[in-house]
Structure 1
Amino acid sequence: MKTFLLCVVILVALEILFRLGHWFRYRRPYHVSIKFPWNEGCVVPHPYLSFAYRRNSAILINQRLPYELHPNDYFSFKEPLHLNNYGHFGEDFASTKEPGVIRIACLGASTTANNIATDIRDFTYPALLRDMLEAAMPQKRFEVFNCGIGGWVSADILINYILNLSDLNLDYIILYHGYNDLYLHLSDDVRSDYSHNRKNFGEVIHRIKRAYYFPKFRFWHSYEFIKDRLLGTGNVRNDVLRLLVKHGVDIEADFKTLSIEQENFRKLLVLAQHKGTRVILSSFAFYDFRNDLVSKRYGQGVFLENALMAELADEFAALFVNQAELIPQDKRYFVDSIHFTPEGMTLLARNFANKLLAELKG
């Protein structure tokens, strides 16, 4: 009995120390993820993409979001998130376009796909963009497709466009992307297909399954921390990006291979041009609120990405929106270094809307 009590006292003491240490370092409690049945998750393997979302499905389990600048201020959604016939968020994409419709595809990763919700409504920048365009030009009909997937890199965006989106008779593409490719260039053995440091989801799905079968104790933060690091959270949406990485990065390495990302988007632009689709490119907004070595290094990488994107805009005579300059670096607009508050999403959409409307009203 004494041994049992001693073990309980030790575990409680360790839990208190962990909670205090985590609070002093991050100024928030440790986030214990909601457990999703692995076979009901929205993330699925794909033969050509790092991963994809399950078509014609939905995300029904809601949670508060542990963003660093606004912990637990927002929810995943107000209304359940529908994944359409192309595996993207929103209503189904019709393969044919009705006469008179202006069809726009928003390409990117989580900063495009992201849904954030208050108690009142959902916010995504593509939906906000559609509303702004319809309000400004009520005589026109607009379709704005959200074609972002959180965690995708430039190779995924290119492949998805080639295989799934290029034949949708798009009038415009908006490409807003940055940051996600950077870790792949902080290495000495960079390959143009990114296989040097990126796996396919099919290679790691067994680890997702294994983590799911371990018990979850939401009150026991130190246990959850250790389990999450060693086995995973049991939540496929949280685990997939971590498990796709083969090895760590060399933070001292330069970004000399970023031309690979630029070349991926150059190929996308060539095909879009061939299809008669007008392209809007953009710089990527990055908020260095951490002001530490790693954050500064990634900030330098985003700066270089933005310069390469501007070069592509000049090369292809594409429209260009300098979002990095137009969105103030302030927590009013950001929930972390790259994702936006509802106000930030609204400003992002407004900047794109202004560029589109200037051309449409000509």
Structure 2
Amino acid sequence: MSHTTRRRLLNFLSLLLSLGAIGGAEALLHLFDIGPSNRLFLLTQNRREPAYAINPKAAHRFFQPQYLRHVPFDARFPADKARDTVRIFALGASTLVGFPNPPETAFPHFLERMLADAYPDKRFEVINCGITAINTFCLLDFAEEVLSYQPDLLLIYAGHNEFVGPYGSTTPFVYFGDNRTIVRSLMRLQSSRLYGVLQNIVRRVLPEPPQGRFGLHLVTRHVDILDDAYRATGENYRRNLETIIAAAADRNVPVMLSTLVSNLKDFHPLRSACPELGELSTADLALQGERTIKDKLGQSPYCAALHFELGRHYYDRSQSNQAQQAFVRARDMDRLPFRAPTFFNRILHQLADDKNQVILSDTEAAFRTASPQGIIGSELITEHLHPTVYGHYLIARTMVEALARDDASRHWDQADLTRLRPYDEYARQVGYTLAQQVDRRNALILMLKQMPYERPPAMLYRQITNLIRQQIRDIPRLSSTDFTIFRGKGGERFLRQMLEFAIPSERADLHEQLNALFMST
């Protein structure tokens, strides 16, 4: 045996021994249950029967410790599925958490009640698996797990975090590049117990990082519509969904995909590529009319802000088709891509067309039908992409109607959609109160105020002004107890501070109305 051959053999044996040692360590950690669990659900023992409860730290490997996203509710289901039960798992991110509204107002909670009404002889479990800020890379492992729990349907509303969530091209969290094969390989490494133990050791040895404020401001990397990363993100989104659909098909589980919605009409893009404008704002240009905006677009065709102002120009003149097109371009060209671009919904339509066991719930179409001039805005979206509570009701109703039309649900019996009730009744059932609405509206004002604009646009001041007026309208309707609680939590002081971000010409009037409201009680 030559010296070179001997050296190669020794290197190979060393590699095998190293891999064996790693594998042995991993096996021991599993055997003695050492290290953080990556499972979405953990087996627990109820008083009557074993059940699976959601793991509040299931997403630990996707975020730095100071930004770890915990599950805000206690989703659980029996380990032994009853014969007459229809079990549905809903996968997604902050929309499923209900943000910025209470978690119990998220659409899965409406959906469970609507299905019980539409199919009165069936028992439904709609298990909400939503975790803030995750994307379809994160859903790959979670989907594989929940498919082992005897689901009758897998429901997915996901796509807004593909750029900014873990492994995305602009993410502030875990990033390994845009190559999906490399990302998946490293994700498997991250899911090992050994990785979790080593991660915990490092965290204990190194100084604990300061607790950071989680929010949109963390995302600082830009992406343009012509960048390779833009295209690669869309391709990864498609392939991740295809992988989930294929895994579900192997187990004969149908999948429902929902199209995505975001605020077109009332949310100004966060970042724009407008090199020709200098210090001149797009709002200043808008005052000069359509021709001026189009002239500037000839110089800066990818300026999201200019497309947005053009959309507002058309919308104010009820030129709905032109307004819709301009608003869509504004969203798709936003260089901080928190809102899923148009071609993501095209991907969802294509996947539903290509696969027999994929049901499409066209939430976007339903929202457009329910919106003035058919353009989605703040009537149904709270800020940039999260639906209002009525919007969640509309998502759930659209899903029930899609299921009733599809063969996949025929074995549940015939749906009776006439049994579905109005929004107000379901809102009461999920426990949505006026006090919650007023409290969360203050939180929404704060979120809008903290939007990471380089220069706050006029639209932001208009939104905050409208929200303050809604507070002035609704606060007198609170019970005396709820009013006292609101005031004790600093609600009045907060609204007075937010007058700084109202439209300047309306601040004096708002100040007088706040004085009248709080000094008369």
SS in 2 for 1:84: strand
* Alpha-carbon distance between aligned partners in 2 of 1:313 and 1:116, rounded to the nearest angstrom: 30
Pairing of 1:245-260 with structure 2 (within 5 A): 248-251=221-224, 253-254=227-228, 255-257=230-232, 258-260=234-236
Give how far 1:208 is off: 10
Answering whether residue 383 of structure 2 is matched by residue 336 of structure 1, we say yes
**Any idea what SS the aligned residue of 2:397 has?**
helix
Q: How many residues align?
A: 261
- Flag the 1:86–1:275 CA change in 2: closer, same or farther, 3 A: farther
Cα separation, partners in 2 of 1:309 and 1:248, compared to 1, 3 Å? same
TM-score, scaled relative to structure 2: 0.44
2:258 to 271, 282, 292: 282
**Stretches of 4+ aligned residues off by more than 4 angstroms:** 45-49, 52-56, 115-118, 185-189, 200-209
- Is structure 2 residue 223 aligned with structure 1 residue 176? no
Distance across 2 between alignment mates of 1:124 and 1:299: 20
Q: Which amino acid aligns with 2:389?
A: P
Distance in 1 of aligned mates of 2:389 and 2:42: 26
User: 2:163–2:338: 8 Å Cα contact kept in structure 1?
Assistant: no
Aligned mates of 1:205, 1:114 — CA distance in 2 = 31
**Superposition deviation, residue 102 in structure 1:** 0.8
Change in Cα spacing, 1:300 to 1:337, as seen in structure 2 (3 Å) is closer
Query: In angstroms, what is the RMSD of aligned CA positions?
Result: 3.8
Cα deviations by residue, 1:35-61 (Å, 9 ceiling, x for unpaired)? xxxxxxxxxx96769xx79998xxxxx
Gaps of at least 5 residues in structure 1 are 1-44, 57-82, 213-231
- Name the structure, 1 or 2, with higher relative contact order (CA <8 Å, separation 6+): 1
1:211 aligns with 2:210: yes
1:299 Cα deviation after fit: 8.2
Given candidates 357, 364, 381, the residue that maps to 1:324 is 364
Structure 1 partner of 2:107: 125
Unaligned runs of 5+ residues in structure 2 are 1-34, 45-51, 57-70, 191-195, 273-303, 305-330, 369-375, 416-521
SS of the equivalent of 2:76 reads: coil
**Offset from partner CA, 1:77-136 (integer Å, 9 cap, x none):** xxxxxx934445344122331001111111111112325557xx9412101000111112
Q: Quick check: which one's strand share is greater? A: 1
Matches within 5 A, 1:1-362: 84-87=53-56, 89-114=73-98, 117=101, 122-162=104-144, 164-183=145-164, 184-185=168-169, 189-192=177-180, 193-194=182-183, 209-212=208-211, 232-233=212-213, 238=214, 248-251=221-224, 253-254=227-228, 255-257=230-232, 258-288=234-264, 289-292=266-269, 293=272, 295-297=331-333, 298=337, 301-317=340-356, 318-328=358-368, 329-359=376-406, 360=409, 361=414
TM-superposed deviation, 1:191? 2.1
Structure possessing the higher radius of gyration over alpha carbons: 2
Please give the per-residue CA displacement for 1:205-245, whole angstroms capped at 9, x wherever unaligned.
Answer: 78994324xxxxxxxxxxxxxxxxxxx23xxxx26x877x7
For the residue of structure 2 that corresponds to 1:142, the secondary structure is strand
SS of residue in 1 equivalent to 2:127: strand
